[in-house]
Structure formats: C-alpha cells, structure tokens
Amino acid sequence: MRPFADADWPAVWAVVQDVVTAEETFPYDPAMPEGVARAMWVEQPPGLTVVAVMDGQVVGTAKMGANRPGPGSHVSTASFMVAAPARGRGVGTALCRFAVDWARRNGYAGMQFNAVVETNTSAVGLYRREGFEVIGTVPRSFRHPVHGRVGLHVMYLEFDAP
Amino acid sequence: MRPFADADWPAVWAVVQDVVTAEETFPYDPAMPEGVARAMWVEQPPGLTVVAVMDGQVVGTAKMGANRPGPGSHVSTASFMVAAPARGRGVGTALCRFAVDWARRNGYAGMQFNAVVETNTSAVGLYRREGFEVIGTVPRSFRHPVHGRVGLHVMYLEFDAP
C-alpha cells in the first residue's frame, strides 16, 4: 500500500473505468471522461489517494478525506475499488483498514459511507466486519443492471463513540 | 417564485452568506468565497435554482437537481435557504413544495436530503409535514456552535412508493 503517484494513473484508470462502467457498485457517471475521473479519484491534501500493489501490479485503490466541509469536516469518508482479477483476496479489507487507520491518525471522529449499494454484499459484509453499521437505507435509489432498483446504505463507524 | 436570474445574485448571496456563516444548518464551508458559493448554489440545467419574492424582495432561494449521477440519477435532491427576517412565514414550505412538484414533473422517483441538522427542528418538522421520513441519523456528525456535536438526518420522500 503506497500513496498514488502520477505514473499509477493508467493502472488506476483501468480499475476505475471498469468499476464505473459496470454500474453495479458506484453511483458515478458511467460516461465520466478520463480527466473528470482523475480529478474525482485523485484527492488533494489533506485528502489522500493510495494504491494497493501485489507483484508490482496495481490491484486496488482507495481515496479518503473529509466527508463534508465546514461543520461536518470532522467526519471522514473513503471509497475503494479493487481490480476484477484481484477480488476475493483481501485487497478491499486491506484498503478499508488503511483508510480507517489514516482517518484515526488524522483526528477524524468517524468514517461515513454515503451510498453503499445493498446488493454489493461483499462490500457490505466487509464494512460490517470492520465495525461499520448501517445507519439507514434509501430504498430503490440505485438502478442496478441486473437487480433493478435497489437500496443505498448509509454506513458509519464512529471511532470513539461515547 | 421564479427562476433565478443573474440580477438576483447579490440578494441571494446575502441569504447564502448569512446561512453559511451561522454554521447552524448547512455543512458548508463558512469561508466559502462568493464565486464558489455562486457556482455551488446556481444550478445548471437540468437542475434549477429559484428565488421566492415578497413585495419585490428576495426572501428565500432553493436549488434542485439529481442527487447523484449515473445509476443514482433518478433521485432528486434540493436545498432551501430563507432570509432571517422572513422566517416563520411559510417561505420554506413554499420552496419545498415547489421543489417536490418540480422533481415530480421532471420524472424523478423521489427526493433525498443528505444532511439535515437534527437541531434544525423547523426544517425537520416542515419536511415531515411534506411527507419526508428520516431514513437514518449519523450521530454527532455536525458541529453546532451552540449545541455541540449533533446528528445529521438523511431524509427521503419516495414519490410513488410501491
């Protein structure tokens, strides 16, 4: 796991493009141009974008930062994408743990995921194992190519809940 | 109630600046520069920004559009701000009804509010009266200048729930 470098972009873009065009897990524009995707995915400080590397290959990527500005800036958010051939090998878990650790070290009070597709059971299960809970589910708010209109979970992990 | 026009900006900016610097109701950057605020508040089509006018004065403003791109674009969102002297006179209700009607007419399936400050009881009550429900509350995710860390509600109105 290391910070994103400019030379990683072609490999990261391949992962992002694959995930976004599938339209199964992220409410992003599937026709997002490469430049827009790069500006969206590559966080500027104080946010951070990282890549997970196995055998010299980028197998996943994460971005992390504040979920909202101003009076909401003490809560972090993060997004994770894993290359299709590397799924089921713990890459997502490693990315999630990295992001939570980063957010704790940077003084955030918790981490919020705003739109977790409820049929993405591997992600939902992973987040639950890491301590996140479902705050609520907006019904039928995501158009899945196979399952139709499914819910989007808001998930949250408060780091030091009172 | 009419569409925002360029000549409305000084009056709209006065309302936006007042609301944002109070840090009581919106998780926006209180130091947001005027140009950034304008780009944020004035929606481009297919979104819409409107003003509520009483006696020739702008007393409130609303923006509305898709809540998310791509597979989430069938759900709308909206934001409302009312000038301090005009509060308690039904301006917020009129803005909310306008936005819901606009979203219905434009074929959206529902309207989602992503971050309603739980201590903003006039807004929460207004939205409930208009049929919105609280999907969930992210605890302590908003720093209120008086009440400290309070929750942010996700609220939703599905237009034609099955």
Report pLDDT digits (tens) over A125-159. Answer: 999 999 999 999 999 999 999 999 999 999 999 99
DSSP 8-state class, residue A28: S
Residue in the block written with tokens 């996140």: A132
Mean model confidence pLDDT for chain B: 96
Q: What is the pLDDT of residues B64-84, one digit of tens each?
A: 999 999 999 999 999 999 999
Is the backbone peptide bond immediately before A46 cis, with ω within 30 degrees of 0? yes
pLDDT of residue B42: 98
Percentage of chain B lying above the pLDDT 70 cut = 99
ipTM over 0.90: yes
Domains belonging to chain B, first-starting first, are: 2-158 (3.40.630.30)
Among B26, B32, B75, B120, pick the best mutation site for testing chain A contact (most A Cβ within 10 A): B75
Residues 73-112 on A with a CB inside 8 Å of B are 73-75, 109-110, 112
pTM score, whole prediction: 0.96
Residues 28-67 on B with a CB inside 8 Å of A are 28-30, 32, 67
Contact A27 B71 (CB under 8 A): yes
Residues paired with residue B2 on neighbouring β-strands, in sequence order: B51
Establish if B27 touches chain A: CB-CB under 8 angstroms: yes
Contact A71 B23 (CB under 8 A): yes
- Given a cut of 90, whether residue B161 has pLDDT beyond it is no
